[in-house]
Every structure is written in C-alpha cells, then in structure tokens.
Structure 1
C-alpha cells in the first residue's frame, strides 16, 4: 500500500499569495491538490488536465468555473 506523502491545498482563508504558493507546489513538487470552491477563484491550473469533483455544486455555473481552471485556451492535453 502506497500513500501520497504530500498534497497542496487551497482553502477560503488563504491569501492570494498563499494560493499562488500552493499552485506552484502543485506544479513542481506534489501530485495532488485539494481545494474548496476557493480553488476556482483567480488561479490558473492549465498545466493540470485531470479534475475530480467530490461534491457537485447545485449551480452549473460554479461547476463550469471549476473546470475552467484547467480547461483554458492553450491547454495542451485532453481534460478529464
């Protein structure tokens, strides 16, 4: 059994600088990012191409916003 040693995370109480720091950790050092809906605000995860929605929001626009973090113009991979 293998465990993921480290994850990055974004929560609503994080400042914009803390969010950027976590995105860079995810881009360069860790394989998994956990985020609340705060992860859908003002960040670019275009380098990522897989997203798992643990809870589907009732508002479809919020779901679209989540997916929009990784599915942007210039994305080089198919998004799942």
Structure 2
C-alpha cells in the first residue's frame, strides 16, 4: 500500500492506533473471549464467542453489552499499563 493507509490487524493494534478514547483502549472492555461465553448464558447454543460473528466485539463490564473496538462512551478509562 503506497497511500499511507494501514490495516488494523487485531484488537491490540486497534488499541495502540486509537487516536481518541474508544472501547479498544478502555479498561472496562473484557478482552477475553472466554468471558463472553461465561457472561452470556446460552451463547454456546447459538454458536461461540470464538465465531466470526463476534469478531473483535467484546463485553463492556460497565454497560453489560457487546461493544466494538471503535465504540466510545463517557465512562471511558484507559487501560493501566505497568
């Protein structure tokens, strides 16, 4: 690609590339797909948290709903790095 555009390959890259506060870099976003199957009763019956329909969506522990990496809300708190 010569246009200067780039593709965000995964959630970690999305978090690092984020310019504005968004769910990809929020501490309330449950990064583990395992937590989806534990938090949403019956999800395994319909598919899996590891399926393509979930993609990079994860569970927001504040709103108790699925969020995409680019979503944002006023409760954003950055991931603490040690």
TM-score by length of 2: 0.20
Higher relative contact order (CA 8 A, sep 6+): 2
Higher share of residues assigned helix: 1
TM-score by length of 1: 0.21
